[in-house]
Amino acid sequence: MNEQRILLEAWKQSLRVQMAFNEIVARNRVISVALITVVLMVDSVWGKKEDYLALAAASIAWAAFYLLDRFWYLYLQIGAVQHTQNIEAKARDMGMKLVTGESLLGLTIKVTRVNRDALNIRPKYKIDLFYGVVLLMLLSTIALRYLFLQ
């Protein structure tokens, strides 16, 4: 097997790793949203209005999912993307180019640029924004319950 074929196979596997991490993160976010939704629905049906336990539990669970997403999976994803970008740079150096002069395997670099340009916010801050807005809503609900039930 020649070096270009090996590089192409390494690139394909590296993309599979990226996709696996993306699926894990997506599943993590779906589970976190579902969990707090169920907790809040159960609380609204069977909970007492004076009881803050369900809201506190939902807030803690949400924060735990945030920490897992932001400080664990994000860096695994970044590592996978950087590895793939290194493979793409090697492909470019080996002459595996399109007519435009870009690397034949330049997908990761393009996706990274689009992701960075979306909302003009870096990915880690998008995660902060996603989890922060929901946590703010949960904490606001606790505060409003406390203020209006006193």
Locate 35 and state its tokens. Answer: 């969990």
pTM (two decimals): 0.78
Low-confidence residues in the chain, pLDDT < 70: 1, 50, 97-105, 150
> Distance between CA 63 and CA 38 in Å, rounded?
16
Percentages (nearest 5) of helix, strand, coil residues in the chain: 85, 0, 15
> What contacts 139, CB < 8 A, 6 or more positions away?
59
> Distance between CA 125 and CA 117 in Å, rounded?
13
Q: What is the pLDDT of residues 75-113, one digit of tens each?
A: 999 999 899 888 888 888 888 765 555 555 677 777 777
